[in-house]
Amino acid sequence: MRRAFTGHGASRGSALGHARVRLPFLFEVSEQHIAEADVATELARLHAAIQDVRAELHAARERLHGALAHEVGEFLDLHALLLDDPELLQGLDALIRDSRYSADYALRLQRDRLAAVFAAMDDDYFRSRSEDVDQVIGRLHAALHRGEPHAGGVAGEILVTDTVAPAELVQLQSQGVLAIVTTGGSMLSHAAILARSLHIPLVVGAGEVLQHVNDGDVLVVDGARGRVVVSPDASDLRGYRTRRRDEQHERRQLHRLRREPTRTLDGVDIRLYANAESRDDVAEAHALGAAGLGLYRTEYLFLQGSAAPDEDTQFRAYRDAVLGMTGRTVTIRTLDLGADKADRAGLTLPREPNPALGCRGVRLSLARGDIFAIQMRALLRASGYGPLRILVPMVATRDEMLQVAALLRSTREALRAEGHHVADEVPLGAMIEVPAAALALPALADTVDFVSIGTNDLVQYMLAADRNNDALEDLHSPLHPAVLRVLRDVIRTGRARGLPVAVCGEMAGDPAFVPLLLALGLEEFSLHPATLLEVRQAIRACDLGALRRRAGALMRARDRAGIDRWMRQASTAA
């Protein structure tokens, strides 16, 4: 019987296919005992599953590159740590050996015990980690049943489940999942952001769907509107075919834009730079006609091995980014790590109560001169191969920029004395992401050659809303009058002093924000290549003069609703 469900469209795209239902692990397991004689086999089954999951996490980590490594890597690392927790492992063994529970039920009991421990913690961060426990236990449960009918991949199917973890999405994509429907989740969760960059259609919050869909049911999913139809009728199928045609047409149109200029309707050229971390990102940015790289994050390089990369390793990576962009400007950001991640790069730092407000970014680089000196040498050596700019993260004071500039000068002299070729011009820029730097830009301006606004952190610090806390995702939004004011002022100040100003946070990669950013005066965007063509298309549909004339109305908006209204009017007027 036909049934329709409505959730939220979290990632665009349509799909037609069979459902693969994955019930929450807890629904599936009830108390089961095993015979004394089966204990050894059950233990061996569990240990094999643990090995499988370990290998699976390791393989997933190896496959990650670029922005995905940044987004997903930390989840995978956390899951690998949880999996190796001796308390978890010994507890499972004891439940099977001493209490003669089945491996499935032992998993369930351990899950409940750990979830209770996390739930009782004072720290919100740890409390929210019980979700990760569920995901690790869920993986173990799946590994126990691999090989049984209905286990295995989701190739060519639509996954229907309660929630999907960011770390799983890459795997599901490589298995060939058509679309995903979840009963939980939100549009701004990490998983939703990732699904959009992987182009997997995703509907979240589809209420009752799990109670009414069975394995093998035929579904139509509309990821833009958040609609799911079970057992579609002729009119649903017609609608699906029309949407698919439109989507394919849109993709072809976008593809054509690879070689078109990023020019507004009234003839103003806007520069679109790409954010990149890996060779693949660089190649994609080049192929899509990016003006250059606006943000090359170097953390990925540091987080790959167990020790900080040496000068030659860094030099080769930076040089290859410069060569890959064949003469277009490449902006490389110095290390942006804090105490929360530094240990994974082989740096031992004192534990901090609040790493987001701790010794991170340029503070860490200046505190660890040994590491910074190597990075500066590698960067300046790469500058001999093409136009390279250096971008400094988390700048709060003028003095920080003066110290970095002094290091740049002394390193250049030392390298030249050693016979290296170093460019005469290596522009030095500051990320504007600490509110103090944004407000005091006039005082910083003579210490920088360009600035790039990191809206991800700027919004987090302006609104005191942790960017990694899903519960605050509505608050962590640039659509606040204070944020718009700061953006406008930074762009104005930069322009008045002849400094190029870009936005390189996620905001710059969302086509919906294009009219707003243009109205605020922005002429340089830096964004992940995944949405570069969509943003180019949105810019080409804008009349810059008309938008700037409406900037006053935008600045008068008093709340999110007012800003949303302005955005709706701007997009219909375009």
Residues taking part in catalysis: 190, 504
User: Residue 284 binds which entry of Mg ion, ligand PEP, none, with Cβ cut-offs from 5 to 8 Å by kind?
Assistant: none
Under 8 Å between Cβ of 402 and 447: yes
> According to the 3-state scheme, what is the secondary structure of 305-344?
CCCCCCHHHHHHHHHHHHHHCCCCEEEEECCCCCCCCHHH
Comparing CB distances to Mg ion, the nearer of 135 and 275 is 275
Residue that has been written with the tokens 């439940």 in this structure: 95
| Alpha carbon distance 452, 293 (integer Å) | 12
Comparing CB distances to Mg ion, the nearer of 295 and 382 is 295
User: Residue 297 binds which entry of Mg ion, ligand PEP, none, with Cβ cut-offs from 5 to 8 Å by kind?
Assistant: ligand PEP
| Alpha carbon distance 479, 459 (integer Å) | 9
Please, what is the minimum distance in Å from the beta carbon of residue 355 to Mg ion? 13
Site residues, ligand PEP (CB under 6 A): 295, 297, 336, 433, 454-457, 504-505
Please, what is the minimum distance in Å from the beta carbon of residue 335 to Mg ion? 12
Please, what is the minimum distance in Å from the beta carbon of residue 362 to ligand PEP? 13
Please, what is the minimum distance in Å from the beta carbon of residue 463 to ligand PEP? 13
**Cα torsion for 93, 99, 100, 103, to the nearest 10°?**
-40
Comparing CB distances to ligand PEP, the nearer of 243 and 333 is 333
User: Residue 231 binds which entry of ligand PEP, Mg ion, none, with Cβ cut-offs from 5 to 8 Å by kind?
Assistant: none
Comparing CB distances to ligand PEP, the nearer of 429 and 505 is 505
| Residue 261 φ then ψ, to 5° | -70, 155
| Alpha carbon distance 93, 107 (integer Å) | 10
| Residue 556 φ then ψ, to 5° | -85, -10
- Assign 165 to helix, strand or coil: coil
Please, what is the minimum distance in Å from the beta carbon of residue 532 to Mg ion? 20
Residue at shortest CB range from Mg ion: 457
Comparing CB distances to ligand PEP, the nearer of 206 and 453 is 453
| Alpha carbon distance 139, 164 (integer Å) | 12
Please, what is the minimum distance in Å from the beta carbon of residue 21 to Mg ion? 39
9-10-14 Cα angle (round to 5): 60
Site residues, Mg ion (CB under 5 A): 433, 454, 457
- Which tokens hold the place of 118? 């996390």
User: Residue 455 binds which entry of ligand PEP, Mg ion, none, with Cβ cut-offs from 5 to 8 Å by kind?
Assistant: ligand PEP
Under 8 Å between Cβ of 350 and 339: yes
Q: How far apart are the first and last CA of the chain?
A: 43
Comparing CB distances to ligand PEP, the nearer of 220 and 487 is 487
| Alpha carbon distance 370, 89 (integer Å) | 40
User: Residue 504 binds which entry of Mg ion, ligand PEP, none, with Cβ cut-offs from 5 to 8 Å by kind?
Assistant: ligand PEP
